[in-house]
Amino acid sequence: MTNLAGKTAYITGAGRGIGRAIALKLAADGANIVLNDLDVDPAAEVVAEIEALGGKAIAIPGSVTAPGFAEDFIGAGLDKFGGIDIIVNNAGYTWDSFIGKMTDAQFDAMIDVHLKAPFQILRAAAPFIKSQAAEEAAEGREVFRKVVNISSIAGTGGNAGQANYSSAKAGIVGLTKTMAKEWGRMKVNVNAVAFGMIATRLTEATDEKKSIDVDGNTVGVGIPKKLVAGMEAMIPMGRAGTVEEAAGGVYLFCIPESNYVSGQTLIVSGGLTI
């Protein structure tokens, strides 16, 4: 018997990297997956991977910051699978500058994707969670639901050049603690996972100038090789984490063993703190 059999998990930013690893991890443990990615093809590919393993999944592509996205995302999952058991707010990216050169658009973009979008998704899920929790309480049943918000050690300790990202990731910790208090009586565990350096396309060691397009904005990706080497030297475990290791941290907050853990931030960083 798998821990998550019959559960339904909603995961944003799940077409690549950490989000994809989370989707595959939860699906392998029995969960139905409602996944999102900004791009259609990567999202469809993850759905195909899950189905090839015998799991069930649907994709709701698009920007998590688009008007009405939260309601569409939650609504599609309820229409398909009929429930909400796990929400993982993972979608995001970085758009760095030192504060003297950072634009309002850069700052607002990070707040929108890392903080406002998770808030909107949880708000959209609230009516269903409240009604189900009331029914379960009336029947004398104890059913736990899980929310895992993705933060960063930039949010717990700050990081030069990331006033926007650090502010948003610190904010998600505050949202996590608040929702743990609001939803605790409804048996919802709300926690955060703060990642350190995880090997993804955003943190790839490269001296080439690389960029991606996000909502019409050109955003640089990759980190110079010398800088990556220096950062890895600071990590007690001596290397960046893998996306599978990152997903493992999220998984801990999704299983029954964490039913009495709420309002916490787990740092998954190989021992690095900043």
Whether residue 46 is contained in a domain is answered as yes
Q: What's the total number of domains in the chain?
A: 1
Task: Give the pLDDT confidence score for residue 87 in this predicted structure.
Answer: 99
246 within 8 A of 268, measured Cβ to Cβ: yes
CB 191 within 8 A of CB 180: yes
The catalytic residue among 10, 165, 251, 260 is 165
| Mean pLDDT value across residues 250-274 | 96
Mean pLDDT, to the nearest integer, of 138-150?
97
- The answer to whether residue 235 sits within a structural domain is yes
Q: Which helix (H) or strand (E) holds 58?
A: strand 57-59
Question: Is 260 known to be catalytic?
Answer: no
Considering the domain boundaries, does residue 273 fall inside one?
no
Question: What phi and psi values does residue 177 have, to the nearest 5 degrees?
Answer: -65, -40
Q: What is the pLDDT of residues 149-179, one digit of tens each?
A: 999 999 999 999 999 999 999 999 999 999 9
**Does the pLDDT value for residue 79 go beyond 60?**
yes
pLDDT of residue 226: 77
pLDDT computed for residue 204 by the predictor: 65
| Residue that wins the pLDDT comparison between 64 and 222 | 64
pLDDT class of 274 with cuts at 50, 70, 90 = confident
How far apart are alpha carbons 87 and 144 in whole angstroms?
12
Q: Which residues contact 139 (CB under 8 A, 6 or more apart)?
A: none
Instruction: Specify if 32 maps to a domain.
Output: yes
How far apart are alpha carbons 89 and 79 in whole angstroms? 20
Asked if residue 3 belongs to a domain, the reply is no
Q: For 206-259, write each residue's pLDDT tens digit.
A: 777 777 778 777 777 777 777 778 888 889 999 999 999 999 999 999 999 999
**113 and 92 Cβ atoms separated by less than 8 Å:** yes
Does residue 137 lie within any of the structural domains? yes
Higher-pLDDT residue of 148 and 217 is: 148
Phi/psi for 36 (5° steps) reads -130, 150
DSSP letters of 176-206?
A: HHHHHHHHGGGTEEEEEEEE--B-STTS-B-
| Containing structural domain, residue 30 | 8-268
Of 70-84, 86-100, 140-154, 194-208, the poorest mean pLDDT is in 194-208
Q: How many whole angstroms separate alpha carbon 126 and alpha carbon 178?
A: 14
pLDDT of residue 152: 97
List, for residues 2-54, the tens digit of each pLDDT value. 899 999 999 999 999 999 999 999 999 999 999 999 999 999 999 999 999 99
pLDDT (average), residues 186-209 = 86
Q: What is the mean pLDDT of residues 112-119?
A: 98
We report the CATH number of the domain holding residue 244 as: 3.40.50.720
- Structural domain contains residue 274: no
Residue 227 belongs to a domain: yes
